[in-house]
Chains A and B, each alone.
Chain A
Amino acid sequence: MTYTDDLQNRVDQIKKGGQEKYHRKNEEKGKLFVRRRLELLFDEDMDIEDALFANNMDDGLPSDGVVTGIGRVNGQDVCIMANDSTVKAGSWGKRTVEKIIRIQETAAKLEIPMLYLVDSAGARITDQVEMFPGRRGAGRIFHNQIKLAGRVPQVCLLFGPSAAGGAYIPAFCDIVVMVDGNASMYLGSPRMAEKVIGEKVSLEEMGGANMHCSVSGVGDVLVQSEEEAITYTRSYLTYFPANFRNKPGVTDPVDVQAFEKSITDLIPENQNAPFNMYDFINRIIDEDSFCEVKKKFAPELITGLARINGKSVGIIANQPRVKGGVLFPDSADKSAKFIQLCDAFNIPLLFLMDIPGFMIGTKVEQAGIIRHGAKMLAAMSEATVPKISVVVRKAYGAGLYAMAGPAFEPDACLALPTAQIAVMGPEAAVNAVYANKIAELPEEERPAFIKEKQEEYKDNIDIYRLASEMVIDAIVEPNDLRNELTKRYKIYEAKNATFTDRKHGVYPV
């Protein structure tokens, strides 16, 4: 055998991954082989692979269970690490960890996106001294992720388990895409939970994809297959630049989808009646350009990327159809991360307001709604990208503040003619101010008195009055909103702002 044949044989053998039985087991679960996943992810073949021969002296550990390298996604070079679950269940040995650390260092040097294709049982306990505690132990992976956060996009595609310490890889990514049925995250397995704390629980219930994407909010996007996860990721990355120094790419402008009902037809006159905010969003963005983040988590607030006239924009919109569009601890939390994500990568923000305020009551106070709300306000306030808020209908109380109200330096606060801005709605305000007076009146006189006071109150918060006081910058014809936004974003592109001079804020987390 020649030297080259020998080399080729070894490469071929390593690229096969683990034993055949583990390939079959994965197939049964609808899981693709790691190298197939990468073929689907990249435009063409992966360009560079490093440390293919890692741990090649040990027969059973090809590439030490992880593939690392660089390939192109939508023409952009990206770094990847991808666990091979046919090799010791994708567990981490010394070289696995070193490979992950090195590819992260490469992403930092080149300032290009870092993608994590995770399918791993966690640390190899037998290798713990080499891979766990030291300077280049697994802790360094997370340290690097934290350093990369906001410098380059970091995406986690979760195809299988992400267990114990490994569960922090998804946690430090900008976004986590989870495959329903196969993906899971947990610090302690159900078996461990039963042994240590006596809890009997299923994996799905404790750490499954559906739970994380709808209850805990650790997952962002729930998909039904690995192919769907990859398609979503490729589409998601089109909204982003390679790093924080650049602006997102611009695509050819696409017209808005044609609808029978216009925006004006859509919005009910009664401020308290719900309507579907998705219908509103679809009438101002390029057709089919909405890429939603955290759809199933805290759906009273919609967060997603879209394009207006070919340019990326991050949308934060109250959804009156769910929980009245009221802000809760989870929705405040959801928006804080989304705002930071967009601001980090120079994606302009659009706030669409139809909000009765923050939720009140014992339950939310005990859940810390004040500090979660503060977190949202802080993220929104600090965002220096072009920032436009639109008062679609009501904007009551701290809801106005959280949704980039005039005091928080939006480049513009626009209102539709249906807008209503106030500390609280007319019903609540009249009750608050005239409670004693109403109680004193004979019962038959009360409705007329309440109605009169509500009308007075409505005059006081009339949107034209607020425009006269220059609280808002413009009143926009609803069906012209898309044009107005297109013009304004184009002009605000020149904005070059820093928030303030300091090391960093003290976050109300």
Chain B
Amino acid sequence: MTEIKASMAGSVWKLTVGTGEKVEPDQDIVILESMKMEIPIATETGGTVKELKVTEGDFVNEADVIAIIE
């Protein structure tokens, strides 16, 4: 089980995967918006998206868990 964490504070702009979806290493999971920039958050490990902890528009702080990959 891998926790995917926000690399910096910002708001969730786009979810690029859905729960239950298979993901490859380095695949983007969500795209945050921060400092007017698109900030892609990728998973280092492959697997299945077990849980998405955020929805579009949510504010996240640095190190908040965004998703869980199994």
Contacts and interface: CB of A to CB of B under 8 A. Distances in A.
B62 A272 contact: no
B62 A324 contact: no
Residue of B7, B8, B9, B37 most packed against chain A (CB within 10 A): B37
For this complex, into which size category does the number of interface residues on chain B fall? 10 to 19
A427 B38 CA distance: 13
Contacts of B35: 324, 326, 356-357, 359-360
B47 interface: no
Interface in B18-70: 34-40, 61-62
A363 interface: yes
Contact of B39 (A324, A360, A428): A324
Contacts of A320: 37
A425 B36 CA distance: 8
A321 B37 contact: no
B38 A324 contact: yes
Interface string A321-336: 1111110100000000
Contacts, number: 41
B38 A361 contact: no
Contact of B37 (A272, A361, A363): A272
Nearest to B61: A363
A273 B36 contact: no
Q: At the interface, is chain A mostly helix, strand, loop or mixed?
A: loop
A139 interface: no
A417 interface: no
B39 A323 contact: yes
A60 interface: no
A356 B62 contact: no
A272 B7 contact: no
A427 B36 contact: yes
Given A274-B40, A363-B62, A324 B9 contact: no
B37 A274 contact: yes
Given A322-B7, A323-B8, A363-B62, A272 B36 contact: yes
Contacts of B9: 361, 363
A417 B37 CA distance: 20
Contacts of A322: 7
Given A323-B7, A326-B8, A361-B9, A274 B36 contact: no
A324 B40 CA distance: 8
Interface string A418-432: 000000010110000
Interface in A242-297: 272-274
30 contacts: A272-B37, A272-B38, A273-B38, A274-B38, A274-B39, A320-B37, A321-B40, A322-B7, A323-B7, A324-B8, A324-B34, A324-B35, A324-B37, A324-B39, A325-B37, A326-B8, A326-B34, A326-B35, A328-B8, A356-B35, A356-B36, A356-B37, A357-B35, A359-B8, A359-B35, A361-B9, A363-B9, A363-B61, A427-B36, A428-B36
Interface of B: 7-9, 34-40, 61-62
7 residue pairs, one from A and one from B, having the closest CB atoms: A324-B37, A356-B35, A323-B8, A326-B35, A324-B39, A425-B36, A356-B37
Given A274-B40, A360-B35, 5 more contacts: A272-B36, A326-B8, A326-B37, A356-B37, A359-B8
